[in-house]
Structure formats: structure tokens, C-alpha cells
Amino acid sequence: MRQIRLHFLILLILLSTGVQLFAQTWVERTPIPTSRWYPCSVVIDEKIYVIGGMGETSPYSSLTIVEVYDVPGDSCETMTPMTMSRWGAMAAVVDNKIYVIGGLTGSFVGGYSATDAAEVYDPGTNTWTAIAPIPSARGWGGCAVVNDTIFVFGGYGGLSSAVLKYYPPKDTWFTEANMPNGRYTFMTAQANDKVYLIGGWGSDLVQEYDPVTKVWTTMASMPTSRGASGIAVINDTIYVAGGRGGNSRQFECFNPVINTWASLSPMPTAREGLIGAAVDGRFFAIAGSVPVSQGGFPFYNIVEEADFSGTGISEGAITPYFLTNLSVQPNPFNLHTSISFTLDNPQSVELCVFDLTGRRIAVLVDGLLETGPHCYNWEGMDLNGQTVASGTYILRITSAQSAAKKKVLLLR
């Protein structure tokens, strides 16, 4: 028991100091066709959509180009271009459609300005359709989807502290209360039903936004102040690669559950204005440019993958140290399903069931558990002992050191 507690203490110290904990390596993949700076991106069905950006040749104008990197096939294809060229736009996915909002148009040589344009792309038909413009033109902002509503945060060219939301079925924009701090070129991520705004050029600020309560919370600062980084979420851990500031090769992760940053093996290529994407627990860093501090050119079309094999990172786990082997069987289920997992040390654990709106349905565990394997059943009952309807639910396990979640389908 003493050894377990000592191991636990050492790991917490390492996490708090931000030292390198993962021995992940980087692998170069097939490049995308077009070199570019500051595109936007989304992921649908194991495909990374790389949209717009600034072109690499003088006058370095905004692009309409859309290219799709297929992760399983390690290949790329070109899709129908946007109707308006732009870079630094915000992108989100709702109902398998891609919404591209705002951005900057023009070039460094001839001048550029923020746009209020917004359009939606249907991958099924490979077509673009204009939607209601954003109320105030902006680029370099943040974007997140909560319950099929798109939230847009801050940005350059408009009110940098403004928070707007767009409801696709009504093609309508709404105004929310402002952010505590106006900023742009920050990175945006969504984890544990919260939205995180991270960094920005010259900033190490990390803020958490709860879209239900509308509350902002300041979190642990980034180890390195920077913006225009690649960002992606793998099992509710936020990964940030490169960016303007530091040496532009940093690769770091943030665990919102324990509010802690850790350093990872740096990218092979220092760059800013890149995109980050996560597919099947794999992190991809795509495009970008040489840091401005080093001349800003050339622009890149490279695709580099962070290889986590052998690190213990697996589906559902936010950190590999305290919670492993999370399994839900059967899934889908009819009468009951069994949730099993293993703890590497004693800890207080909460295992709950949520619906897709984030409402807590059931509590299966809430207390101290010992080291070793554990298994619990859920029989499709809510907090009042009533049978719940067929549908998709989220099983979430959390503790002070780790967190994980899995979807489960109930069929009656």
C-alpha cells in the first residue's frame, strides 16, 4: 500500500510540474496537396476536412480550397471549394454538416478584413449553401457545438469578447453574455460538456465555460504562452501542438479533471497557424507555416501523427495511470449491461449515467474503491427506479485523478 501511495504522489508531482510523461513518437504521413497557413478543420467519419487558409505564393491570398485527408487510407482528395475565400475561419459540425463561419479575406500584400459570411457544406452532396451571416464580422475566434447549437467566441475584427450562438434549424443567431476577457488567435476545445478557451498570441490564459450555467472559470495556465496552435481532444484530454510563442514545437496536454498540464514529445516541425485533429485516439498536426519569428515562410502541407502506441492511452481513458481497461458489455443491450474497469490505486470514484442533453440519469458508484478490477451493472433504471426509454446514453466514470466515458445503446 505504501508503494502505491508513493507512486501516486510521484505522478501527481510530475503532472503538476509539467514534465514529459509520455514517450510518444511522431510519424510523417502523406501530405495534403496544398500548403497553407491558418485553415480551419473538422472531423467526420475518420476524415479530416482542411478548409480554406492563406496561400503560400505572393500575394498570399485567402483560399477557397477544401481537401479531405482520409486517415485509414492515408490519402487525400479535393472537394468542392467554398464560395468565399478565407483564412482564420471557425468551423463546426452539426448533423454531419460542416458550418464555416466568418474568417479573414484578402492577403498580406493587398490587405485583408474580417467577414461576416457563413455557409454550410453537405459532404453527402458535396455542395455549399449560404446561411445567415454572423452578426459581427470576425476571424481567429473560437467555435464549439453544444446540443446542436454552435457557439462562437471572441475573434479579430468584431467584438473580441462577444459570445454568439447559432441554431441551424432556424438559421438564426443569438447573443450571449460577453467573455470575461476579449481575445483572438486562441484555441478552443470541448471536453466534459464544457468549452475551454486556451492561450492566444502572447497569452497563457485558460478559461472554462459552462454552457448550461453560463459560468466562466479560470483554469491552470498553459506552460508556454502561445496561439495559432493545433488543438484536438482525445477522450476528454486536450492536446495542443505548436503555435506562435516558445519554439513552436511544443506538444502539451491538459487534463481538465485534475486541472493539470503535462509536456509531451515535441513535433518534428516547428510551425504556427496549423490545425490539430483527433481520429481513433490519434492526434494529427496538419499544415501551418514556419514561425513568424523565423521568417514566416515556407508554408507547409505536411501531416504528422503523434503515435501513442505503447503509452497506455486507449479508448475512453483520459490518463493512463489510474484507470485502465474500461469496458461496457453488452453494447447495445436490452436487460442490463456490465461496466468493468481497473484502478491502479485506491481512489474515490463516481460512476454515473447521463442522457445526451447532459442530464444525470443514474448513479451506479459514489465512494472509495480499492486497487484492482471492478464491475457494476446498469439495468436501464433512472434515479427514481423508473425504466428509461430506448436510446443512447453516456456512462461516465470520474475521480480526482482520472476520467473516462463511453456511449451505450439501450434497445427495448
Report all structural domains of the chain as residue ranges with CATH numbers, in order of start: 17-307 (2.120.10.80), 323-410 (2.60.40.4070)
Q: What is the DSSP string of 367-389?
A: EEE-SEEEEEEE-SB-TTSPBPP
CA of residue 343 relative to chain centroid, distance: 26
- Digit-coded pLDDT (tens) for 308-339: 764 444 333 334 345 666 788 898 998 899 99
Q: Do residues 133 and 114 lie in contact, with contact meaning Cβ atoms separated by under 8 Å?
A: no
* Continuous segment of H or E residues that includes residue 12: helix 2-17
* Continuous segment of H or E residues that includes residue 73: none
* Continuous segment of H or E residues that includes residue 11: helix 2-17
Residues in contact with 92: Cβ distance below 8 Å, sequence separation at least 6, in sequence order:
42, 98, 99, 101, 143, 144, 145, 150
At 325 the pLDDT is 67
d(CA 268, CA 160): 33
d(CA 287, CA 269): 10
- Digit-coded pLDDT (tens) for 366-375: 888 888 889 9
At 94 the pLDDT is 96
DSSP state of 104: E
Average pLDDT rounded to a whole number, residues 334-362: 84
Least confident segment among 69-78, 80-89, 327-336: 327-336
* Continuous segment of H or E residues that includes residue 369: strand 360-369
Q: Which amino acid is residue 29, in one-letter code? A: R
Would you give the end-to-end CA distance of the chain in angstroms?
Answer: 44
